[in-house]
Chains A and B, each alone.
Chain A
Amino acid sequence: MVKGAEAGTTKRRGRAKAPPADSSALPQERLLQAYRDMLLIRRFEEKAGQLYGMGLIGGFCHLYIGQEAVVVGMQMCLQPGDQVITSYRDHGHMLATGMEARGVMAELTGREGGYSKGKGGSMHMFSREKGFFGGHGIVGAQVSLGTGLAFANMYRDNGNVCLTYYGEGAANQGQVYESYNLAALFKLPVVYIIENNRYGMGTSMERASASKDRSKDGAPWNIPGEQVDGMDVEAVRLAGERAVAHCREGKGPYILEMLTYRYRGHSMSDPAKYRTREEVQKMREQHDPIETARKRLLERGQDEAGLKTVDDDVKRIVAEAADFAQSSPEPDESELWTDILVEAR
């Protein structure tokens, strides 16, 4: 189902103009759209958690709940042809790039209707059409790969930018620093987005890194960086516009450290012994990105009925995705042997 739409390849484009940096709050309709996109991720992930509990999703399943403002805010800064790449906590990124919920959910259940025909699973989905380049399971590997996507933009001189996401845990990997050097050296259009959710699996950043401010990690190469409230979609979008404009102007890479939080465990099997229930509760109550957006919308004149429509719409999409993910058949056994090599032309 997904395949037909994926046939397009990256086309050459003229150099895109950098949009003027918007210093004001989001226009109401864009904030409403952001609210909807975040809510879709939240409800999708909740449903994925349920399906996992029912045994319909296997293996690893890393939920994005709590971090929604990061991808949604950043995605608002992109133009057609820009790329996104991330780690294995990737469902939110897929939905934010516009990949269909049903195709993602069906991949989680390992069905033929999934984006990878059931052969990738939670951690490995891709969509050329939407500019989503995975979905990578080796911590930190996507940072070099994203640097390469940006290299291709430079090579093609297409004015596009690559958003490369990783956690503060991955930021300790050596290839991340190799990538910083390469990106700065070649002035590659890549925004490095460190989603600092405080814990690399069960190890807090304080216990894993001597660096306390990851936005400064690019300092040796003069890569500008800033810390951003990753729980505030408007703040994310503003910082994102600055970073993306910097890249589009040919000034090289930019680092954004998103201070965020995941409400759920690292994966489904997380014992959650490394932090208190109160800590999680406090974040949910005081900093929830979706609740914050909802309050702002209402303050700025949005009526409850409109939000209810959005909520219902999202609920319907997720329910439909869950149904599809259970009704789509498992891949044909012949699929075991396909897609190992591209057949020579």
Chain B
Amino acid sequence: MGATILMPALSPTMTEGKLARWLKKEGDSVAAGDVIAEIETDKATMEVEAVDEGTLTKLLVAEGTENVAVNSPIAEIDGGDGGNASAGPQQPVSNATMQGGETGAIAEQAEDHGAVAARGAQERPEAKAEPKMPAAEPEKDWGETKSITVREALRDAMAAEMRADDKVFLMGEEVAQYQGAYKISQGLLDEFGPKRVVDTPITEHGFTGMAVGAAFTGLKPIVEFMTFNFSMQAIDQIVNSAAKTLYMSGGQLGCPIVFRGPNGAAARVAAQHSQDYASWFAHVPGLKVVAPWSAADAKGLLRAAIRDPNPVIVLENEILYGQSFECPTAEDFILPIGKAKVERQGKDVTIVAYSIEVGLAMQAAEKLAEEGIEAEVVNLRTIRPLDIDTVVASVKKTNRLVTVEEGWAFSGIGGEVAMQVIEHAFDHLDAPPVRVAGKDVPMPYAANLEKLALPTIADVIDAVKQATYRK
């Protein structure tokens, strides 16, 4: 009886990796726990351990192979005399352990905060898929572009601003020696040194207050939250100290600071690690809130956030980190905070979305086009200050509005957008606005339930049909 060893996942969002090295060869006998191979991603390295005893009968993937998909077979093992190591190909029989030191993995970090590092996790397939979209409407022409990941875009933005201004520094958990829990700060320690890339202990409340205090003196900290879930430990300092002091001081004491990190659901990390905080922060006068989707959004908006003399919340998305988009290569590329972007032109309905849901809206729009419904997709880019003008201009053209967000609908961004559209363009609406949002439940862990809890392409299509009276 043979069993198949599958490519393991290193983190909930890993989709593929490199099979760096085989430590056993065909014909070797292995015992449970033996390290048989090493795999690598752009973020980390890990060892693959055998779960069962037996003899390696076949290595299916040569060492050095890149882009090996998670859960694809990499070796076959003979069950040996036990004869019952009959794991089917659907069940990974390898076990991953992280290497310590600098090349550890994000899952280890997540565990520090109580998350379960889901192995071979199901991702949201529609979110993972490379967005296939019609050419976005040009804004200012920034010239040449290059395909880069959102992760690279964020790092490049920080590096560019740190080169330009020695008052800018990055601090957070694992940002320096570890190169970032999600590898956003990769290489920054080498370039800028430990004074400007500062590892902090796991102490959000304390280091957030410390960063705000430093910003009061005119320094420009970038605070990385490993995820925005942990910013709740520090929300008092963000709201009561960072956002309000300028007003309370009659304009004397500003707070030029950036709070950034992944926001919203990743994959299979359950309720405490899967939440969209857009409406929490957008509620507060004195804060700006941006939520980039593409690499260009990420680079342009983060650069603007760092230069902004106010506290800016940059809501990133873990699933987007590895996605590639065309991004202008111009040295001075930057995007304005407070301007939305029409990503797709259409005449029948306006879909307003931000962050990862822009991709969802774009894909829904493609499907709707097959049915003859032309949707216009507005990527908000900035949540506060909200670019309601762009939304209203679109609604005046389409007369119908659908909002898409990952967060809960109650007191959510969709509700705010819809209300402002009603205030500004009530007579232009031919149908009640429809909200697509995360379901009104804490995020479940089970793969099927998580899928149900998050907005899907089908949800967006349904909402559009409701708004266009096609159902």
Interface residues of A (CB under 8 A from B): 3, 6, 9-10, 83, 85, 114-120, 124-128, 133-138, 141, 143-152, 155-156, 174-175, 178-179, 181-182, 185, 338-342, 344-345
CB distance from A138 to the nearest CB of B (A): 5
With CB as the reference atom, state the residue of chain A lying closest to B245: A134
Q: Which of A9, A134, A148 contacts B249 (CB 8 A)?
A: A134
Q: Does B216 contact A (CB under 8 A)?
A: yes
Known: A155-B214, A185-B201; 15 extra A-B contacts, CB below 8 A, are A10-B217, A134-B245, A134-B253, A141-B240, A145-B212, A145-B216, A146-B213, A147-B210, A148-B213, A148-B215, A151-B211, A152-B213, A152-B214, A181-B201, A345-B309
Contact B210 A182 (CB under 8 A): yes
A126 to B216, CA, bound (A): 11
A-side contacts of B207, CB under 8 Å = 144, 178, 182
A-side contacts of B248, CB under 8 Å = 116, 119-120, 124, 126, 134-135
A-side contacts of B212, CB under 8 Å = 144-145, 148
Q: Does B206 contact A (CB under 8 A)?
A: yes
CB distance from B92 to the nearest CB of A (A): 40
A147 to B212, CA, bound (A): 10
Query: A340 and B246 in contact (CB under 8 A), knowing A144-B213, A148-B214?
Result: yes
A155 to B221, CA, bound (A): 11
A143 to B212, CA, bound (A): 11
Interface centre among B208, B210, B219, B245 (most CB of A within 10 A): B210
Contact B210 A126 (CB under 8 A): no
Contact B218 A10 (CB under 8 A): yes
User: What are 22 A-to-B residue pairs whose CB atoms are below 8 Å?
Assistant: A83-B217, A85-B213, A115-B252, A119-B247, A124-B249, A126-B248, A136-B241, A138-B236, A138-B240, A138-B241, A141-B236, A147-B209, A147-B213, A148-B209, A148-B211, A148-B213, A151-B214, A152-B214, A178-B207, A339-B246, A339-B250, A340-B286
Query: A133 and B252 in contact (CB under 8 A), knowing A340-B285, A341-B310, A342-B246?
Result: no
Query: A179 and B209 in contact (CB under 8 A), knowing A148-B214, A339-B246, A344-B308?
Result: yes
CB distance from A265 to the nearest CB of B (A): 24
CB distance from B370 to the nearest CB of A (A): 43
Q: Which of A126, A143, A338 contacts B253 (CB 8 A)?
A: A126
With CB as the reference atom, state the residue of chain A lying closest to B249: A126
With CB as the reference atom, state the residue of chain B lying closest to A128: B252
B-side contacts of A146, CB under 8 Å = 213
Interface residues of B (CB under 8 A from A): 169, 195, 200-201, 203, 205-219, 236-237, 240-241, 245-254, 256, 285-286, 288, 308-310
Query: A117 and B309 in contact (CB under 8 A), knowing A137-B240, A144-B209, A146-B213?
Result: no
A-side contacts of B203, CB under 8 Å = 178, 181-182
CB distance from A247 to the nearest CB of B (A): 15
Contact A178 B249 (CB under 8 A): no
A-side contacts of B288, CB under 8 Å = 341
Contact B169 A148 (CB under 8 A): no
Query: A125 and B249 in contact (CB under 8 A), knowing A133-B216, A175-B206, A344-B308?
Result: yes
A133 to B209, CA, bound (A): 13
In the A-B complex, the 3 residue pairs with the smallest Cβ-Cβ separation, listed nearest first, are A148-B213, A144-B209, A178-B206
Contact A344 B249 (CB under 8 A): no
Interface centre among A114, A124, A125, A338 (most CB of B within 10 A): A124
